[in-house]
Each structure stands twice: as structure tokens, then as C-alpha cells.
Amino acid sequence: MRIPLSAPEITEQDIEAVTGVLRTSNLSLGPKVGEFERAISDYVGASDAIAVHSGTSGLHLCIRALGISEGDEVLVPSFAFVAVANAVRYEKATPVFVDIDPQTLNLDPSLLEKAITPRTRAILVVHTFGCPAELTSILQIARRHGLFVIEDACEAIGAEYEGQRVGALGDVGVFAFYPNKQITTGEGGAVVTNNSEIALKVRKLRNQGRDDSGEWFQHTELGYNYRISDINCALGIEQLKRIDAILDRRESIARQYSVILRCVSDLIIPAMVLPRRKISWFVYAVRLSRRFDKEHRDWIVNEMKSRGIALGRYFAPIHLQPIYQPSDSGQTALPVTEFQASRSLALPFFNRIREEEIKEVCQTLVELIRPG
Ligand SMILES: *Cc1c(COP(=O)(O)O)cnc(C)c1O
């Protein structure tokens, strides 16, 4: 693709740091893992960070560490990445989908309470596209019903809610560092929490259920190998050093798009500013007006593609995925999720996108959506 949807920003310094690890014999379980974890926990303002090999494995460990299992229900959005619901199903618990707020695209707090049953154990809230969810109400509801709150902050590193960085404002949270995220480790993730018991448990599960006795062949839990290498962490440390500049740059790209697309009548553009929040720009997703349906949207994606411009269909609702269909026959309707998902278009969005590229994307899109 001439203009890709996303692209990691790798500097010479990043390359130096990675090759530096390759010159040592500490490729895994070396000093870079702990260094990355401390940098993440400092940045987020959490007492603990545990680095893992993906956001998905981080979400799975949250579910395991909270003791959520068969028969339990977890409230999740369907307008999200499939890993959100899969992590619940890995432990044979049931994801219960709740609809979203049409503006922020996050879980709608006013619908959460109706979805709570005696089996509900947790709310897994996603800060969609880097926009923090309405945490005050969500935490209140959770407290009232004795539920855990898991934050999926995989798209939202550096985002703030009421002046605090998201991730560890609930019981436990997760970041992800796949190359399309704000910062990358290649593959990677981190679990963050202020609860030392949860932290200990996650640490143990990540490393084959080993306890901290230091005995390599002492396994006290059914654990996993969800470790991340020092090579990945070295990249993460360098990327995190530049995060302020990265987030500023991404916000300025979002603003450039908004200035051009603001007055296009058939497009609903994302809000640049929302009360109580600082957005960490993960993607720039616009929505087509009611005049368009999913087929029309998909035609636009294909036309843009034939001109060398990649667009994303974020998100395809989880409850409509083939692996979720059968178990979901009794699922209540999710009209906002389905409406928004069928009309959303994520535009090319990466740190090094050039102004001419932004203009070309907008111009081509406007030509394609113009009536007649
Ligand atoms: C990226 C992402 C994840 C984790 O993805 P991995 O590829 O496993 O690192 C989880 N949830 C959301 C919402 C994401 O965007």
C-alpha cells in the first residue's frame, strides 16, 4: 500500500538499543524486562507493571488472576478487538456484550446495570481508539455490585481521565505494543495494577507458575510461558522515552485531518476534546452518515485501496464473528455497536505520515462519498 493504515516509527537509537541486547547473553529474563516494567509503572502511576508477550496474554492473565472461571460472566463491549471476549472464554467464563455510547464508542454506563446478574464478576472496559471510558460511573457501578474493573488500555497509553493516566484506575489493566499501537515492542504487552496480590499472581502465571522461591522447577500454579524477551523490552524502553513527542505528533495529525474533514457533510469526525479526558490518539476513525450502509462503506474501502490508500474497518463487532454466533443466539441487540461498526472508516494514521499524504487521503475520500 502506498499510504498504509499504520506504520511503526523506528529510530536509529531504537536499533542501537536492540542490537545492544543482541551483543549480550541476556536475551530473556535479563535486565531489560525489569527496566521496561519500571518505566511503564512510573509512566502510568501504578505500583506494578508486568511485561508479557502480547496484550491478549495480558488480558488472559487478568481474568486468571482475578479467579474468573466457568459460570462467571464478564461485561464487555462488542465494539472492540476479539481478544477482549476471547480472554474471558479462555477461562470458560461468559462474555456478556453491552452496547456503547455513540460518541465515545466506549461502554455505555447507563446500560451496564441492566446487564448485571448474580453471576457477573467483572466489567472489562476498553478505552476505544485511545479515548478513556466514563470511569467514574463505571467504577461506581462496580463498587455497588462488588465487581472487578479490568481496563483494556491497549489502545490508550498516555490517555488521561480526570488528570490521571488510564490503566490502573480499576483493579488491573493492560497495554499492548503491537506495531500499530502508539509505542511498540514488535509484539508485547504489560499488565498494570496497584494491587500487589494481583501483581504477584500475574508474575507467577507469566512464568510457568513458578513461585518466587527462585527454584526453576518449582511450579505452584498452572502457568504459561507469556514472557517477553529483553530484545523486545529494549525497543519498548526507547519508545517510551519518546512517548510525549509521539502523542503530541499523533494529536497534531488528528487535528490536521479534522481541519480538512470538519465541513464534509456526510462524515462524522471524532471529537478532538472531550470533558474529563485527554485522548491518546491510536487511530483516526470517521463515521459515514446514515445515508450510507455497510456495502457502500466497503465499496469505499476497496476504491481507496485500488488508489493505494489503506483504510481500516474498525471494529467488526465481536458478537457477529462466526466463533461468537452460536453461543450468542440469546444475546440482546446491540444497535449502536452495529450501526457504528458498519459505517466506520479508520484513515491512515502513523507518526511519519506527511501533510501531502493526509491531504490526498481526504481529497480521495471526499470524491468517493460525494453523491452522484
Ligand atoms: C491491540 C489490542 C489488544 C491486544 O492485542 P495484541 O495483538 O494481543 O497485543 C487488546 N485489546 C484491544 C482493544 C486492542 O486494540
pLDDT tens profile 7-65: 999 999 999 999 999 999 999 999 999 999 999 999 999 999 999 999 999 999 999 99
| Ordered DSSP codes for 50-75 | EEES-HHHHHHHHHHHTT--TT-EEE
Q: Rounded to whole angstroms, how far apart are CA atoms 105 and 87? A: 21
Grid coordinates belonging to 51: 511485561
For residue 294, what pLDDT band results from cuts at 50, 70 and 90? very high
Is residue 213 located within the same domain as residue 292?
no
What local confidence, expressed as pLDDT, does residue 328 receive?
A: 52
Please give the average per-residue pLDDT across 98-112, as a whole number.
97
Instruction: Indicate whether 368 pLDDT > 70.
Output: yes
Give the β-pairing of 277-278 and 160-161.
Answer: antiparallel
What angle, 0 to 180 degrees and rounded to 10, lies between the N-to-C axes of helices 243-261 and 355-369?
40
Query: Per the domain annotation, does 5 fall within a domain?
Result: no
Q: Whose CA is nearest to atom 6 of ligand 1?
A: 55
Q: Cα–Cα distance between 162 and 165 in angstroms, integer?
A: 8
Q: Is the CB of 95 under 6 A from ligand 1?
A: no
Measured in angstroms, how far is the CA atom of residue 146 from the centroid of ligand 1?
27
The CATH code of the domain that includes 348 is: 3.90.1150.10
Residue 337 shares a structural domain with residue 273: yes
Q: Do 218 and 265 fall into the same domain?
A: no
Burial class (CB in 10 A: 0-12, 13-18, 19+), 330: exposed
- Domain with 356, as residue range(s), is 243-369
- The reply to whether 92 belongs to the active site is no
What sign does the CA torsion over 267, 268, 270, 273 have?
positive
Question: Does residue 7 lie in a domain region?
Answer: no
Q: Is the C-beta atom of 155 inside 6 A of ligand 1?
A: yes
**Does ligand 1 come within 6 angstroms of the Cβ of 152?**
yes
Residues 202 and 65: their CA atoms lie apart, in Å, by 6
Residues 284 and 309 in one domain: yes
User: Phi, psi at residue 259, to the nearest 5°?
Assistant: -60, -40
Pairing of strands 267-268, 277-278: unpaired
Report the number of distinct structural domains present in the chain: 2
Q: Are residues 67 and 171 in the same domain?
A: yes
Q: Is 81 in the pocket of ligand 1 (CB under 6 A)?
A: yes
- From the candidates 32, 114, 181, 201, give the one annotated as an active-site residue: 181
Cell numbers representing residue 177 in the block = 505494543
What is the atom index within ligand 1 of the atom nearest the CA of 176?
A: 9
Average pLDDT over residues 101-120: 97
Q: Is the CB of 154 under 6 A from ligand 1?
A: yes
Report how far ligand 1's centroid is from the alpha carbon of 25 (Å). 30
Ligand 1 mean position, distance from CA 183 (Å): 13
Residues 218, 91 within the same domain: yes
Would the pTM of this model clear 0.95, i.e. be above it? yes
Pocket lining: 173 vs ligand 1, CB cutoff 6 Å: no
Q: Using the mean position of ligand 1's atoms as its centre, give its distance from the Cα of residue 155 in Å.
A: 7
Task: Tell me, yes or no, whether 123 and 261 share the same domain.
Answer: no
